[in-house]
């Protein structure tokens, strides 16, 4: 399989827009995590997750939410810096991928996430957006992977 180099201005517009959009949403949601409303909204997701539920044994609902929010904001900033710095892009892509795989896993770890509505299987659709953000994150890794 032959790989094309992405060097022209026109083949980076979609990539750059994807990174900017992903960083914007991560930062925005990260800031919202510092509110009591969001801390309570994510509690059922976090407490039922095999890799995160233990956090509530050590920290309050708000501190757990703050930690998650701070992580999201830091990754958003790193994605933005990564637009100009390949090494930072690579590692921020890995971090963003972990975030979005984790949020997508909530679809399987949170009770009552799936239900039948009018004969159609539906879920909390706000989590499904992370499929696109995961794709952008993987693109960041692929484009900025250290060569040779």
Determine the Cα–Cα distance for residues 126 and 135; give it in Å rounded to an integer: 16
Residue 2 lies in a domain: no
**Taking the model in full, what pTM does it have?**
0.89
Residue 5 lies in a domain: no
Burial 73-95 (b: 16+ CB within 10 A, else e): bebbbbbbebbeeeebbbbbbbb
- Note the pLDDT tens digit of each residue in 31-85: 999 999 999 999 999 999 999 999 999 999 999 999 999 999 999 999 999 999 9
Reply yes or no on whether the pLDDT at 4 is more than 90: no
- Note the pLDDT tens digit of each residue in 99-146: 999 999 999 999 988 888 899 988 877 788 899 999 999 999 999 999
CA 50 to chain centre: 18
SS3 6: coil
Residue 78 sits in which domain range? 17-144
- Residues, the chain: 148
Q: How many domains does the chain have?
A: 1
Residue 89 lies in a domain: yes
Residue 7 lies in a domain: no
Cα atoms in the Cβ-side hemisphere of radius 13 Å centred on 79: 32
């Amino acid at each position: 399989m032959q790989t094309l180099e992405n060097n022209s201005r026109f083949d980076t517009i979609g990539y750059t827009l994807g990174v900017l959009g992903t960083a914007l949403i991560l930062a925005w949601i990260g800031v919202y995590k510092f509110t009591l409303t969001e801390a309570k909204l994510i509690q059922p997701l976090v407490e039922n997750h095999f890799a995160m539920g233990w956090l509530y044994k050590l920290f309050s609902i708000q501190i757990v939410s703050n930690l998650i929010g701070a992580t999201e904001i830091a990754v958003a900033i790193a994605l933005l810096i990564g637009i100009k710095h390949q090494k930072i892009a690579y590692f921020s892509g890995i971090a963003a991928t972990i975030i979005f795989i984790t949020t997508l896993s909530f679809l399987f770890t949170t009770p009552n996430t799936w239900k039948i509505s009018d004969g159609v299987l539906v879920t909390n659709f706000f989590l499904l957006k992370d499929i696109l953000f995961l794709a952008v994150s993987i693109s960041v890794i692929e484009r900025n992977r250290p060569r040779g």
